[in-house]
Amino acid sequence: MLTKAQVEAARQRALEYFEKASIVLTDEEKANIEVADFGLGDLENTGLQLVTYVNTDRYCAKEMVLFPGQTCPEHRHPDRGGARGKQETFRCRYGEVYLNVAGPETKDRVSRPPQGDEEYYTVFHEIRLLPGEQYTLEPNALHWFQAGPNGAVVSEFSSTSDDESDIFTDPRIRRIPQVEE
């Protein structure tokens, strides 16, 4: 569980990356940047900072920051009660991000699962995204992503987002953040 101080520190750090990417946020968005440690308590290695611009019953748009080397752990978006799972497009805005999906393992891949968590990572077809480059994931496609050494800012365009239904490979993970009161 993250402490309030940890969340606040991560927000301030995330703001530095939004500034590097010249992304303008409102004061309210800045104050409410979501800091997700996925319940692993190791934000530096496994985590994500995000701002959700809009999430209707039809589409969603978010802006995400990954700190240098930080990983969003492997997961997929399954169908939900007859409705198709989330389809999503990642577009790199700043830095570089390594997106891993199913397919032939990339030779000399750059991204590596966080140390000690290797057993919870199963797809290693690595797609490198530099600013202006993007990739679209179909529903239920396993994926994980990791920032390069300068961090990354990534836009996510998608169908409706419903974090509760995500399925992570690592059974220890809890997506819905819990913050110490």
Question: Which residues contact a copy of itself (rule: CB under 8 A)?
Answer: 21-26, 29, 53-54, 56, 58-61, 84, 87, 89, 91, 93, 131-134, 136, 155, 157-159
Q: Is 10 helix (H, G, I), strand (E, B) or coil?
A: helix
- Residue 7 CB, shortest distance to a copy of itself, in Å, is 21
| Of residues 133 and 166, the one with the C-beta less far from a copy of itself | 133
| Least gap, CB of 53 to a copy of itself (angstroms) | 6
Those residues whose C-beta lies under 8 Å from the C-beta of residue 153, and which sit 6 or more positions away, are 17, 18, 20, 21, 23, 63, 64, 65, 92, 93, 94, 95
Nearest C-alpha neighbor of 145 from the set 60, 93, 75: 75
Nearer to a copy of itself, 27 or 181 (CB): 27
Q: How far is the CB of 32 from a copy of itself (least distance, A)?
A: 13
> Smallest distance from the beta carbon of 138 to a copy of itself, in angstroms?
10
Q: Give the nearer residue to a copy of itself in terms of CB position, either 6 or 87.
A: 87
Taking 3-state DSSP, the helix, strand and coil percentages for the chain, each rounded to the nearest 5, stand at 15, 40, 45
